[in-house]
Amino acid sequence: MSQPTFETAVRTQGVNMFFGEGESRVTALKQADFDARRGELIMLVGPSGCGKTTLLSVIAGTLTPQAGTVEVFGQRLDGLGQEDLTTFRRKNLGFVFQSFNLIPTLTSLENVTVPLLIQGVSQREAEERARIVFEKVGLKGREDSRPNSLSGGQQQRVAIARALVHEPPLLICDEPTSALDKDTGAQIMEMIRTLSRAPNRCVVVVTHDQRIFRFADRIAEMEDGRIRRVVDDPRQLDTTHL
């Protein structure tokens, strides 16, 4: 097993994660070893049910595995209590969910200000910063719309703006382009890739969308609860099941 280097941003070793008990037990991760480097955008691909979202949740500290170690920017997450995990997430993590998870009673812009307000940023500054990111994701003019009046692609862009607004070191995206057309998906990925280009940054993207593979520095292929291999050229992937 290799030792962590200064470049390591995320590292899981021997992670086991199961749900349920007895006959209904489902093992989602089996000895999953994963690492992501500082300054890179790494994609996680594999068939439906192979454990991608579960691995993201473990890295995000929203699921605690039954075995194994999880380290994010030098901080061990396994063993941390709920309160410390919450603090860690607020400071270090942006998460774009497969289902957008927007707050329906807030306007789109208000949704984007939430992570800043939680961090104690003033209302005025939060709005200013949210407006800048809002424009970047191509939503200018829809600030006051509630999420349910936006298209799926627009909601996804609000979710991305919310994940980016506090400039988290670790950005985790679960199918960020699945609801977007080709051009919008490429624009969003371009933006996400630019963000990953900093030594104190790391972006992990789960996707089935082969059109965006070209934005990855490396691609980790998952199979049956573990990382099967990691490649830096998408042509080396077995894409028949994606």
Contacts to ligand ATP by CB under 6 A = 19-20, 26, 28, 48-54
For 47, other C-beta atoms within 10 Å of its C-beta total: 15
| Rounded CA separation 197/203 (Å) | 9
Residue nearest to Mg ion (CB): 53
Q: Are the CB atoms for 218 and 231 separated by under 8 Å?
A: yes
User: Shortest approach of ligand ATP to residue 208 CB, angstroms?
Assistant: 7
Residue 108's binding partner out of Mg ion, ligand ATP, none, with CB under 5 to 8 Å set by partner kind: none
Return the closest-CA partner of residue 87 out of 54, 120, 113, 65. 120
Residue 132's binding partner out of Mg ion, ligand ATP, none, with CB under 5 to 8 Å set by partner kind: none
User: Shortest approach of ligand ATP to residue 173 CB, angstroms?
Assistant: 13
Residue whose CB is less far from ligand ATP, 54 or 92: 54
User: Shortest approach of ligand ATP to residue 55 CB, angstroms?
Assistant: 7
Q: How many residues does the chain have?
A: 242
Both tokens of 35, joined, read 């690492």
Residue whose CB is less far from Mg ion, 12 or 53: 53
Both tokens of 127, joined, read 């709005």
Residue whose CB is less far from Mg ion, 41 or 172: 172
| Rounded CA separation 145/136 (Å) | 17
Residue whose CB is less far from Mg ion, 76 or 241: 241
Quickly tell me which residue has 């480097």 as its tokens.
37
User: Shortest approach of ligand ATP to residue 179 CB, angstroms?
Assistant: 14
